[in-house]
Amino acid sequence: MAERPISRAIKEFLGEAEEIIEKLNLDLVTFADGNESGEVDPELLNSIFRGAHSLKGISGMFGFDDISTLAHHMENLLDRLRLGKVALSGILVEVLFDALETLSRLVHGKGETEEYSLDLAPVLTRIEGVLNGAAEGKENLLAGLNINPAILSVLTEYEEHRLLDCFKKGRNIQSVKFSFNLASFDQDLAEITDILKKKGEVISTLPCAGEFADRIGFQLLYGTSATVGEILAALGRDDAVVDLLGEKAVAATPRPKEETFATEPAGEGQEGGATSMRSISRTVRVDIDKLDSLMNVVGELVLSKGAIAAVTEKVRAGGNLEMAVELQKAVRVLERRLDELQKGVMEVRMVPVGQLFEKMVRIVRRVAGEHGKKVAIDIRGADTELDKLIMEDLSDPLMHIIRNAIDHGIEPPDERLAAGKPEKGTIALWASQKGNHVVIEVRDDGRGVDPEKVRRKAVQKGLIAEGTELSRDGTYDLLFLPGFSTRDEVSDLSGRGVGMDVVKNNISALSGMIEMDSRPGEGTTLAITLPITLAIIKALIVRVCGKTYAIPINAVMETLMVETASVRTIERREVIELRQSTLPLLRLENIFKLPVSSRRDGRIFVAVVGLAEKKLGIVVDELLGQQDMVIKSLGSALSFVRGIAGAADLGNQKTILVLDVGGLMSEALRGESAFYV
């Protein structure tokens, strides 16, 4: 994406808005799950309401009226829901998801241009439709609860709704009374509230006069399925007075004498159990561009360290040993500090993939709904960390894979039941770390890939001859060709194959690799192997035909020196035997059309590289050593050059090319070296 000037203030807005939307997304998914089970956490609803309110506030400050307007309507709907003025329903939840999706698109669009906007009329109409639906009347319900009018008269509208909701659910409405010492009443009240929340809902907290001058009393209105005795046991305090209120009220418990409380109206901010709005997080948002800049500085320092080390060697060779020793000590101190700095910056860039998976949950829900399919999502390894930039670039390919899996893989409910499968399909998102790589697997339990159907389509398109036998890998390779699809008709979503070439290219651009496995009738798995970071790497420097290249060391498994006589040819491909297995070889001079050097003394060096379960031997003339380096992009003008991940400075005024190991392996193992320029 081309760089575009953007003000610091707008960057701050985008960062905060994205954070709010991510939290709203997560909360809404939990809220929707609770709706399906019939249990909705009122504190969760309050959290969603506060999110919409915050987004309205910050967008209004920046003059983004469209975001502010939609957030205001969403907030209004949530408020009416909080107060019981609209009924909770599946339609209401879908409207909330629609509004959030539109908000997300608006915020994303503002990142491209501040003038970006959308037609909000459809989503606003849907919100108004829900708001104008049947409202529940509750005028006479409170009066029928047989609760002291003095208590009812001080409840807020929200607390009245929560009281009625608890009553409708058959919960016991209890009054829990305490008196606390003035010096520590806040901590004591918080402790009591936490205990009560584990067994029910604190509807209201009403301060009142204590029995003594140095004490203050509180009456908590409480809804729970537990009995009075169970609550007393949970509190474990002799000074607690718990009464059952309402129509089910019984005699007060034989606890310490009942006090007379003069109730007062609850103060603002006490709804939802006096939850503090103060942030407990000690984290700050950092613009990833600033981290990139910092990492570049670290890279330059690493190069400078290498230059100083080289000077040290020259001084030593010149006979000035005393000076060389002093310089060497300084280099070692610098090296340790640089390692600490580099490690610190790297840790800041790492984020859990769970953030990406949470976004995908919304995609799964929406796409499944559009196609009338029932899909559950199984997330594992969400704590696995990945470079923030890699994760951002991974989001679009991952979304495409998931959309394909739902559209083409997961069967409709009736088809699944007929096949003896559960009505609800499953999309699994699993992440794990393997050495210096992260593997992300997308699994579905759908109908899988039919090899014969793929073969017929390939014959029809003239890609293979009739009668050609395809291996499993050969079948899957066809699905990654541009424009290949097993679908006869075009849908809103692509069939598996359409756009998968783009997915593969995007993964390769991240120095990653994608592999497919499928069983007809059982499902499909796509495994994406990615380096943990691309920011600064250790690389193996090699020379081929007089040219110097860098191979990311995290892909290098070992280096070998082999006799040229041991190189054999199988199906026109060079291979060697390596520990009872066959290792295919790749010659860079063939890939990059280099003039072949005459120096071949009967031995060659082989750098064995591997990603996922595949290995490849890259033939080189010399191994020059290892070095830390910062990879620079070749830019859009040279984006057509394949097999190259970028360029790097060696620190001696010399720039070399860094090999794209994932891309080289993908194409070389398919025998398509002609792809490269």
Catalytic residue among 18, 43, 53, 101: 53
Residue of 25, 46, 72, 75 marked active site: 75
Residues counted in the chain:
677
Alpha helices in 480-587 (DSSP H): 500-509
For residue 261, give the nearest of 219, 221, 223 by alpha carbon. 219
Residues 158 and 203: their CA atoms lie apart, in Å, by 9
> Is the distance from CB of 305 to CB of 337 less than 8 angstroms?
no
53 is catalytic: yes
* Cβ-based neighbour number of residue 608 at 10 Å: 18
432 — phi, psi (to 5°)?
Answer: -155, 155
CA-to-CA dists, residue 310 to 247, 328, 331, 547, angstroms:
88, 10, 10, 22
User: Cβ neighbours of residue 677 under 8 Å, at least 6 residues apart?
Assistant: 592, 640, 641, 642
Which residue in 535, 99, 50, 13 sits closest to 287, CA to CA? Answer: 13
Q: Kindly state the tokens that stand for 655.
A: 């720039």
551 CB neighbour count, 10 Å cutoff: 25
Is residue 489 a contact partner of residue 401, using CB atoms and an 8 Å limit? no
DSSP 491: -
**Pairing mode, strands 513-519 and 425-434:** unpaired
Task: Give how far the C-alpha of residue 628 lies from the chain's centroid of Cα atoms, to the nearest Å.
Answer: 29
Angle value at C-alpha 9, between 6 and 13, nearest 5 degrees: 100
Q: Is 320 a catalytic residue?
A: no
Rounded to 10 deg, the angle between the 354-370 and 8-37 helix axes is: 60
Count CA atoms closer than 13 A to 47's CA, side-chain side: 19
Give dist(CA 453, CA 297) in Å, integer. Answer: 53
* Active-site residue flag, 108: no
Written as six digits, the tokens of 444 are 């579905």
Catalytic residue positions? 53, 75, 404
